[in-house]
Amino acid sequence: MPIYAYACSVCGLHTDVMQKMSDAPLTVCPECGKESLIKQLTAAGFQLKGNGYYVTDFKSGSQAKPASSDPTPPTSADPTPAAGSPTGPVASSSAT
């Protein structure tokens, strides 16, 4: 049977309850008696053992390597300016 975590929004009680999956969620707080008990989302507590791991999974003794071993980011080597940008000094015109 799975263990579910509950929290009371009124008195702040945090409790774990072993229930069947088919049981209805608890709503009444055992501490304060009000209908303010909320089921919390928790991480699953299980481990994968045996065959069938993917390359990115951690195995005993070794870990997966990062996708890229090159620490330098790609840079643009093109010295030409972008379209629409001035290539020389900007001439100012005075219309007075």
Tokens of 36: 């303010």
Give the sign of the dihedral formed by CA 8, CA 9, CA 12, CA 14: positive
Closest CA to 55 of 66, 44, 39: 66
51-89 residue pLDDT tens: 766 656 565 655 555 555 555 655 655 555 555 555 555
List pLDDT tens digits, range 18-39. 999 899 999 999 999 999 999 9
Residue-level pLDDT at 84: 56
6 neighbors 38 (Cβ within 8 angstroms): yes
Model confidence at 96, in pLDDT bands (50, 70, 90)?
A: low
Going across the sheet that includes 37-39, the strands are 14-18, 3-8, 37-39
- Amino acid identity, position 22: S
